[in-house]
Structure 1
Amino acid sequence: MSQPFSSPHPFAPFLDRLADAASGAIMPHFRQGFDIDNKWETGFDPVTVADRNGETAMRALINSTYPDHGILGEEHGPENLDAEHVWVLDPIDGTRAFITGLPTWGTLIGLTSAGKPSLGMMIQPYIGERFGGDGSMAWYRGPLGTQPIKSRSCARLEDATIFTTTPALFNDTERKAFDRVEEQVRLSRYGTDCYAYCMVAGGHGDAVIESGLQAYDIVALVPIIEGAGGVVTTWTGGSPADGGQILASGDPRLHEVLLKELSRV
């Protein structure tokens, strides 16, 4: 597939090739019978053959096309992380949704250049949607056609719709901060995983508040949000590239309000 809107990023056309490879490896398993492994000895962090096969397919394509690039993947670990360009992969963000048949999971394909997120795509192959961004522009392709996307204006908490995958992400202190925000906003939605960030980029919601994220959970989403006009930082305003406590907002004015709220003890 050709890259829409002529993104100037030199590796933008490669996103769709990686998306095709991941989709081909993952979709034969969705809503089919498969074994589920647990990564944790205590608790539950599921992984499936679809996760592993999706990442394997993307890694093979990267290694054959750009052998000098690095790779950081959730399932198969780091490779050549000292490279200028490092692909950051999460084959199924939202494995819990995947194993329960819900189409709110997505494949995250991110690229850091000199350590900064520079390119990203989230794909949902069951629905047939792709959200991409390069930090300067963002786009959508799917059942609604192909079009640029922009985040919406929302400066006040009382007008905002916020997302989090689950409040269980938060420790006690974080939960108090989130609850304080949630009490003030118009609407909050749970269970969204990576989809929430794309909804903010597309102007359907206003912010995502999460914690405990890894680099592969967020790097691909940063250029999409930023390309749509939004902001992504940690709760203290730092770089989101390594994960942690993440705040993504569609309107920079709302972002500043939320940073102040989340920093209150």
Structure 2
Amino acid sequence: MPSPAALAADRLSELDAFLLELNTVAADVILPLFRADHGLEDKGGVRGFDPVTAADKGAEAAIRKLIAARYPDHGVIGEEYGEDRPDAEFVWVLDPVDGTRAFISGLPLWCVLIGLRHQGRPVLGSIAQPFLDEIYLGHAAGSRLIARGQTKPLQVRPCPKLTDAVIATTDPEGCFDGAELGAWTQVRAAARLARLGCDAYAYAMVAMGKMDMVIEAGLKAWDIESAIPLIEGAGGLVTNWRGQPVGPDGGQIVIAGDQACLDEALVALKRSAK
């Protein structure tokens, strides 16, 4: 079986263009519901309030419909509607509204996450913020930002010292257990600046060279897979808390723009790695 790296350039270009179409149909569903009556529900769960809206469900349904029409042999894994042929050669991994808490609060920090696996490995992904008219998209050939009619390449910035780093996580007290919170606190104490509550938008900021590291735990595949090709295409790294490649089920994740900075953070994170 050929490796994912063997994906032909013309096929990758075709799928890249299709990914932009998927972002368009998602935005068409979501934007009319942002800062409007979004039909809020609570999915519950082990971490308490877990909101889902008509935007989450409608956007994922629209994305799935277009995939089924264009590529009926492709699989789909989505947060709202589960798995459909997850062992297919090509599998789309969807989080239609990452950051639903920001969405229902009227904050433009939520994102549409769409990733593509080829033979089990992430090869193409986008992080979009439709309200800001931004799509961050990447693969092995490079990453780019498409915003307000312009396109520009994305590149992480050098930051070899953790003491110079701008880092982020979503919610330390809500997303980390005791040992994980201790590890985050240690890294936070060393870093120059930390920002909270940005969800996947922080990933895009690492790709853009505005942030240096994002540390998360308890992620699902749809929370992270779209970011892997984007960050790597911009010259960055995505690992688990042991410094190893991210598995198909998510988990404890570090996104970094500089290997040396990542290595410093892993000294603390490895002690709480699962």
TM range (shorter): over 0.9
Q: 1:191: which partner in 2?
A: 197
1:124 maps to which of 116, 123, 129: 129
2:263 maps to which of 241, 244, 256: 256
Identity %: 46
Q: 2:18: which partner in 1?
A: 14
User: How far apart, in 2, do the equivalents of 1:263 and 1:236 lie?
Assistant: 5
Aligned-residue offset at 1:242: 1.9
> Between Structure 1 and Structure 2, which shows a larger proportion of helix residues?
2
1:237 maps to which of 231, 236, 243: 243
Letter in 2 for 1:262: L
State whether residues 7 and 137 of structure 1, in contact with CA within 8 Å, keep that contact through their aligned partners in structure 2: no
Moved over 3 A (4+): 6-10
Shift in CA distance, 96/61, structure 1 to aligned 2, threshold 3 Å: same
User: How far apart, in 1, do the equivalents of 2:137 and 2:45 lie?
Assistant: 36
Aligned-residue offset at 1:179: 0.2
SS in 2 for 1:44: coil
User: How far apart, in 2, do the equivalents of 1:137 and 1:259 lie?
Assistant: 26
User: How far apart, in 2, do the equivalents of 1:8 and 1:18 lie?
Assistant: 15
Aligned-residue offset at 1:260: 1.9
SS in 1 for 2:132: coil
User: How far apart, in 1, do the equivalents of 2:107 and 2:137 lie?
Assistant: 22
Q: Which runs of 5+ in 2 are unaligned?
A: 1-9
- Of 15-24 and 248-257, more deviation after overlay is shown by 248-257
SS in 1 for 2:181: helix
Q: Which runs of 5+ in 1 are unaligned?
A: 1-5
Q: 2:91: which partner in 1?
A: 86
Mapping of residues 1-265 of structure 1, within 5 Å: 8-40=12-44, 43-143=48-148, 145-168=150-173, 169-240=175-246, 241-264=248-271
User: How far apart, in 2, do the equivalents of 1:61 and 1:10 lie?
Assistant: 15
What TM-score comes out, normalization by structure 2 length? 0.91
Instruction: Write the deviation string for residues 19-47 of structure 1: whole angstroms up to 9, x where unpaired.
Output: 01101111111101132111116610000
User: How far apart, in 1, do the equivalents of 2:33 and 2:129 lie?
Assistant: 14
Q: 2:4: which partner in 1?
A: none
Instruction: Write the deviation string for residues 125-149 of structure 1: whole angstroms up to 9, x where unpaired.
Output: 1110000001341000113831001
State whether residues 71 and 87 of structure 1, in contact with CA within 8 Å, keep that contact through their aligned partners in structure 2: yes
- What do you get for the CA RMSD once the two structures are aligned? 1.5
Matched residue pairs, number?
260
Aligned-residue offset at 1:256: 1.8
What TM-score comes out, normalization by structure 1 length? 0.94
SS in 2 for 1:264: helix
Instruction: Write the deviation string for residues 77-130 of structure 1: whole angstroms up to 9, x where unpaired.
Output: 100111011000000000000001000000001001111110001111111000
